[in-house]
């Protein structure tokens, strides 16, 4: 059983342009939490753009993809905080239909979080994410301590908490991490975004001793290296340095997995870095890169929790990401199956 904890968000996806990004101080292929400069963004999108609503939130997306590939419901459990509104109903309906066992913490006075996903095409298909966490940032550690929810923590053998969640309830991440290390269970995280590796680096570093698998992309890895003063921009060196950071559970060696778009996936294990090729996808088939990283993690975990080889895990990860980027948002054709 895989337990994920994260920020459940309803994605508002639009086809935008460079002017829209500039207006709200956004950048391509970046992810931020909404600030004062983005206050009117969501109303602007609703009023002036053709908005597509899809279930979102990094961890929830990964678990939905994992369940899609596994074809067996309730292997994945997701916890996060939402409002008591129509948006949370949409999220729960979609996630449950995909096979995820959703256990939300509900907030009475705060709406469900949303994430603006702006797709631009003037430099190839890119996405810019701007999250308004709202209810998602009200998650409290009490939710994992209630008897009815604690049983899921105890039943799980794998835990996935993203870096994004460290902005919300780092104590929850630390508690789950310590529990996993003590019980020799697998704790997985994601660097998530450059701003997480920078502004929240202290929380990342406090979590890492408990982490068995670290996911990220090249921009996150480079930001992490700069913030931690690794003194290198060589990705392979960075992976090995992250891998060799202090670790609580000595029974498991840490793995670090970094994606680079269409360039090879880098995987640090033991004292070597493997380069694993990414099958090419014709540019004209790429519709929306939002969710590619989430799908990669979901695909990987779907095989990893079954004890498959790392090569098979990466193969499935690339397969899932390739499928997602040919659809809008983190959505998929449930009739398609991974042939591995």
Strand ranges, E, within the chain: 2-5, 9-15, 30-33, 52-56, 76-83, 101-107, 113-120, 126-132, 158-162, 186-190, 213-217, 255-260, 263-269, 272-276
In the numeric block, which tokens belong to residue 254?
């840490």
Q: State how far the Cα of 215 lies from the Cα of 196, in Å rounded to an integer.
A: 13
* Residue 222 Cα distances to 19, 173, 242, 295, angstroms: 28, 23, 11, 22
Strand ranges, E, within 84-185: 101-107, 113-120, 126-132, 158-162
Q: Confirm if 290 and 16 have CB atoms less than 8 A apart.
A: no
Q: Based on the residue annotation, tell me whether 108 is a catalytic residue of this protein.
A: no
With 0-12 / 13-18 / 19 or more C-beta atoms within 10 angstroms meaning exposed / middle / buried, residue 274 is middle
Choosing from 108, 212, 294, 333, the catalytic residue is 294
Q: State how far the Cα of 296 lies from the Cα of 317, in Å rounded to an integer.
A: 4
- Active-site positions read 294
């Amino acid at each position: 059983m895989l337990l994920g904890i994260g920020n459940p968000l309803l994605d508002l996806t639009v086809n935008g342009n460079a002017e829209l990004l500039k207006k709200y101080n956004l950048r391509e292929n970046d992810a931020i939490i909404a600030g004062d400069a983005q206050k009117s963004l969501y109303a602007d999108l609703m009023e002036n753009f053709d908005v597509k609503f899809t279930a979102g939130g990094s961890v929830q997306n990964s678990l939905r993809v994992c369940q899609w590939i596994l074809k067996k419901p309730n292997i994945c459990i997701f916890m996060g905080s939402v409002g008591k509104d129509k948006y949370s109903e949409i999220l729960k309906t979609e996630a449950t239909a995909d096979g995820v066992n959703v256990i939300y913490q509900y907030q009475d006075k705060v709406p469900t979080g949303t994430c603006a996903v702006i797709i631009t095409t003037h430099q190839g298909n890119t996405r810019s994410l701007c999250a308004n966490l709202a209810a998602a940032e009200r998650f409290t550690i009490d939710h994992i301590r209630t008897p009815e929810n604690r049983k899921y923590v105890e039943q799980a053998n794998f835990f996935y908490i993203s870096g994004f969640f460290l902005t919300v309830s780092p104590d929850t991440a630390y508690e789950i991490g310590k529990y996993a290390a003590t019980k020799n269970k697998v704790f997985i995280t994601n660097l998530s975004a450059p701003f997480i590796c920078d502004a929240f680096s202290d929380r990342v570093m406090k979590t890492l001793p408990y982490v068995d698998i670290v996911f990220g992309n090249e921009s996150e890895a480079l930001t992490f290296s700069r913030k931690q003063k690794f003194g290198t921009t060589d990705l392979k060196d960075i992976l090995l340095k992250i891998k060799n950071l202090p670790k609580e559970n000595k029974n498991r060696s840490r793995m670090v997995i970094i994606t680079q778009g269409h360039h090879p996936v880098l995987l640090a294990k033991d004292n070597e870095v493997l380069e694993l090729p990414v099958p090419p996808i014709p540019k004209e088939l790429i519709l929306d890169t939002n969710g590619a990283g989430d799908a990669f993690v979901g695909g990987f975990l779907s095989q990893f929790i079954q004890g498959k080889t790392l090569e098979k895990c990466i193969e499935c990860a690339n397969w899932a990401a390739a499928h997602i980027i040919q659809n809008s948002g983190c959505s998929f054709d449930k009739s398609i199956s991974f042939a591995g």
